[in-house]
Amino acid sequence: MKELWNPALAEAESRWQQKAQALTTQAFAPLAEEIDRDQRYPIEHLPKLLDAKISGMFVPKEYGGEGASLTAVVAVVEAVAQGCASTSAILAALALGAFPILLGGNEAQKKALLGGLAERGDAVNFALSEREAGSDPSAINATAVREGDGWRIRGEKCWLGNGGHSRHFIVFARTATEQSRKAISAFIVPRETEGLVVDFYEDKMGIRGTTTTNLKLDVWVPADSLVGSEGDGLKLALATLTVGRVVVAAQANGIALCAYESARRYAVTRLTFGQTLIDHQGVGFKLADAAMNLSAARMFTYEAARAYDEGKDIGTLGAMAKLYASEVSHTVVDDAVQILGGRGYVKPNVVERCYRDQRITEIYEGTSEIQRIVLARAVKKAALADIGAGQ
């Protein structure tokens, strides 16, 4: 074993990883600095992802996809993030948008949207967050009321990853006035729907190659646009985010691996005070901690993905993986900048870019604080169950 732990992947998962590594080395990494500098969506990457069948790899075969496991998706996202975090974020957004259909859609919806993603790369967008309802999705203000044989949806959504390049939006809106878990429903809204407006693009700190947008809605959609049953929206959103957290953990690990590799190489070649940097304990210990914590973060992430593939509930484990991986990534990237010193602070330098790209992994798909709330509730539930059982 090298200094970093590596997962024991099945043959199919290993093939996906190798394919992603090759694409990243040849196509994604060479353009990463330019994409970040110009805040440019890498449109030229999309045909490559489609041709490699990566963009719809998780879509079941009956809908035109490859039926890849979540473990394979994690391996791919991690590999791509090591070369271009923006491209890995595009992949993560593709999965996030498609999973509500995969988990709750009917056959017609799955054939249309999942098939479109797998066969043409047509992105589906996860439109949940609002300016006043980010960490608390139950507080959304967008509404959907019955109008004729369909629904009138009004409201505004924000922070839509891939929003500028999505063909369909899964819009979560309030279908009841009371504050309850059954008050929210999910709807498919095609981009060309009259009254749908993507009105601006965010100017972001990191993952600048993605198009993160705002969405305004005053639209009518037919009754068959409803995903699942009326009132199932919040349940569907939370189930999707549970999967999304594992994917973000993989992205965080990939970014950290990129920064770690750069810092490791620099530390064994840079001479100061008559010896290499890594031979100074202040630097060597940082890299030792990075190797240990990165290995643990990857173990968490791959175990969560494996558990999902086995049909297990990963609500708690997924929160642990996302929380731990994103915060380890923060420390590893921060230490990498410190090890490179001035070189790590100026542009263009890969660790400077990693420093900005990493930060979002502690925010989207549930902030670190939200993950701790999830885990605290799990601790409380288990403790009360043990007390009730007389343990």
Active site residue 365: yes
Question: What integer is the mean pLDDT of 139-152?
Answer: 94
| Predicted model pTM | 0.95
Are residues 59 and 131 in contact, defined by beta-carbon separation less than 8 angstroms? no
Cβ-proximal residues to 123 (8 Å cutoff; 6+ apart), any chain: 93, 94, 97, 117, 162, 165, 166, 167, 168
Q: Tell me, yes or no, whether 353 and 308 share the same domain.
A: yes
| pLDDT score for 356 | 98
pLDDT tens, residue by residue, 49-60: 999 999 999 999
Taking only the tens place, the pLDDT of each residue in 328-368 is 999 999 999 999 999 999 999 999 999 999 999 999 999 99
Closest CA to 184 of 219, 218, 151: 151
* Token pair 């500098």: residue: 37
Is 5 inside a domain boundary? no
Q: Does residue 4 belong to any structural domain of this protein?
A: no
Pick from 315, 232, 229, 247: nearest CA to 98: 247
**Please, are residues 256 and 358 in contact by the beta-carbon 8 Å criterion?**
yes
Residue 99 reports pLDDT greater than 70:
yes
Residue with tokens 């509500």: 100
Active-site pick, 66, 352, 365, 369 = 365
Q: 135 or 141: whose pLDDT is higher?
A: 141
Q: State the CATH number of the domain containing residue 47.
A: 1.10.540.10
Tens-digit pLDDT profile for residues 247-297: 999 999 999 999 999 999 999 998 889 899 898 999 999 999 999 999 999
Q: Does the structure show a pLDDT above 70 at 1?
A: no
User: Residue 383 is part of a domain; what is its CATH number?
Assistant: 1.20.140.10
Q: How far apart are CA 2 and CA 4, in angstroms?
A: 5
- 1 in any annotated domain: no
Residue 17 and residue 118 share a domain: yes
- CATH of residue 177's domain is 2.40.110.10
Same structural domain for residues 167 and 31? no
DSSP state of 61: G
Domain of residue 44 covers: 11-122
Whether residues 67 and 211 share a domain: the answer is: no
Task: State both tokens at 370.
Answer: 């939200």
